[in-house]
Chain A
Amino acid sequence: MYQLGNLVKDLSDKHGRTRESLLPILQGIVEKHNYLTDEAMVEVAKELDISAAEVYGTASFYTFLDTQERGKYVIRVCKTITCSMKGKIEILETLEDMLKIKAGETTSDKQFTLLETNCIGWCHKAPAMLINEIPYTELTPEKVVEIIKGYMQKK
């Protein structure tokens, strides 16, 4: 569980407290903490003076506004048609082997979450994945090992 601190207040000051600010505020929280805790959504509801159910209802509509616990690095492997035709399965299996988790899970040290996602717009350089905001393309199992090793050393 992350510390919310003054983040919600700061984001509300920055984006405003009207309904249209809801998505930018939620995106700001996710940018910092990778997912939305119940407490965070309640805080946002208070700041914007709307019900917490409204906040959750909106957040849960969007794939990138996760309401479940996520690791520091969220890996999203593209599962859409071009990537799956170009070897997405091997990429996913390599990641599962390295991280010792299945798609949809988070490592016990809370560093990595492995997810599958729909098209990320790199179909010409398939297979592709996003790690947080950074796209990685033309992946091979060897390349994936190198990339993840890099992230493992970062922590």
Chain B
Amino acid sequence: MKNKGLNKVDLIFEKINAEEVLKKAWEMSNQSIIQQILDSGLKGRGGAGFPTGLKWKYTAAIDEPEKYVVCNADEGEPGTYKDRTIMENDPQSVLEGMAICGYAIGANKGYIYCRGEYPYVVDILNQAIAQAKEKGILGDFDIEVRMGAGAYVCGEESALIESIEGNRGEPRFKPPFPPVIGLWQKPTIVNNVETFANIPIILEKGADWYKSIGAEKYPGTKVLTLTGDINNRTVFEVPTNTTIREVLYDFGGGIKDGKKFKAVQIGGTSGGFIPESMLDTPIDFDSMTAIGAVLGSGAVFVMDETRDIVNVVARIAGFFEHESCGKCNPCREGTKRIHEMMEKLDAGQGSSGDLSLLERLGTVMSKACLCGLGQAAPAPVLTTLKNFNSEYQAKLN
């Protein structure tokens, strides 16, 4: 995959000699692999941004013969298709990353949990696993693909584990976290597809090299997917110090049909809405958090001047009402009430009292919900109330 010559960064999609990297890995001690990953500064690419090496270190330290590696390929975040693209183009890098993780933490079994909407990707993965087994390059590490069945919440790691176990995909109470007690109550590393795809190249080229790319606190690259009112609706990989403006105008080719920019939502449907004034922010995890947004899955959803923000947020609220699993009260009730209030506002029947109620409810949800779904669900509402308040005011009754 090419970056259209705009940037000389092509980590994930660059073909590296897998057999060489794995041979190198098997010669290293598990501790020195974990140290390399720690030193590289790699953080989880699924959205939470947890340091990958640290996660592995926790699990490696536990004295338990049975441990698991799980690859989260339940890419349900609207606007996101990066994991599908990675698995279609370079499934081997994911398998290699998982096998290296298994060796580092002391696990010999891995699962890839792929969303039910991608059955064709399951076929690609199974082929890649068969090829790798035939060549014997994964050592004694075994990988099995499990398919989801259309539940957004299963992207949450503990819900995903429940689903592999054959249960309803409802998130677990935490702590304990999966690195300590995970699949079948055993220590389990759950990492995103993109995170695993970064592992082989870090071992190939070294932690220092990797750390020199992108932002200091969130080094490396991020695969972004552009959607909405943008000229290039495509997938590409950028160093993490790239700004949102560069993403939209250099890679994205600007707003479609010569229209003006209104807003961009980054990180998927649970991400914050970003106005023009914040476009010079780099996309790395910490810079995004500092402006009240998230990097999340790397989805970049662009809206032009003609889009009605209140209407867009009302539709997003409908998505969360449907996808809430119903286990915890703040999410089950909150997503429903937010959707109701947003519909009312969108229909021009809301009052300023509704706006303050929305803000209170959203704040409660972001603190009180059990998992990331409910905690992030009010983000589109809260960030638009803040950054696009005039849109709401214009629709009040």
Contacts and interface: CB of A to CB of B under 8 A. Distances in A.
B227 A126 contact: yes
A136 to B, nearest CB: 13
Given A62-B151, A63-B149, A118 B322 contact: yes
A121 to B, nearest CB: 5
Interface string A118-130: 1111111110001
Interface in A54-87: 57-58, 61-65, 80-82, 84-85
Given A81-B79, A81-B319, A85-B228, A121 B117 contact: yes
A121 B115 contact: yes
B165 A20 contact: yes
A113 interface: no
Nearest to B79: A123
B228 A119 contact: no
Nearest to B78: A119
A24 interface: yes
Interface in B280-319: 299, 301, 307, 312, 315-316, 319
Contact of A58 (B75, B167, B228): B167
Contacts of B316: 81
Interface string B140-175: 000000111111100000000001111111100000
Of listed A61, A84, A85, A125, residue having the most chain B CB within 10 A: A61
Nearest to B165: A20
A118 B163 CA distance: 19
B358 to A, nearest CB: 19
A27 B147 contact: yes
B240 interface: no
Given A19-B165, A124-B226, A62 B150 contact: yes
Contact of A118 (B78, B234, B307): B78
Q: Which 3 pairs across A and B sit closest by C-beta, in order of nearness?
A: A63-B150, A62-B149, A64-B150
B164 A20 contact: yes
Contacts of A81: 78-79, 269, 301, 312, 315-316, 319
Given A24-B146, A63-B151, A64-B149, A124 B301 contact: no
A121 B84 contact: yes
A23 interface: yes
A23 B149 contact: yes
Contacts of B120: 133, 135
B169 A82 contact: no
Interface residues of B, number: 48
Contact of A82 (B78, B84, B163, B165): B78
Nearest to A20: B166
A22 interface: yes
Contacts of B118: 121
Nearest to B170: A61
A80 B78 contact: yes
A124 B256 CA distance: 13
25 contacts: A20-B164, A22-B166, A23-B146, A27-B116, A27-B147, A27-B149, A58-B168, A61-B151, A64-B116, A80-B269, A81-B269, A81-B315, A82-B78, A85-B228, A118-B78, A119-B269, A120-B117, A121-B81, A123-B78, A123-B80, A123-B233, A124-B81, A124-B225, A124-B235, A130-B117
Interface in A34-57: 57
Nearest to B228: A82
Given A20-B164, A22-B166, A118 B149 contact: no
Given A20-B165, A84-B315, A65 B149 contact: yes
A122 B146 CA distance: 21
B167 A123 contact: no
Contacts of B235: 124
Contacts of A124: 81, 225-227, 233-235
Nearest to B111: A20
Contact of A61 (B79, B168, B227): B168
Given A19-B167, A124-B81, 13 more contacts: A19-B165, A22-B166, A24-B146, A24-B147, A61-B170, A62-B116, A63-B151, A81-B319, A82-B79, A118-B78, A119-B117, A119-B152, A120-B117
Contacts of B228: 82, 85
Contacts of B204: none
B354 interface: no
Nearest to B168: A61
A21 interface: yes
Interface in B66-88: 75-81, 84
A85 B233 CA distance: 14
Contacts of A62: 116, 148-151, 169
B253 interface: no
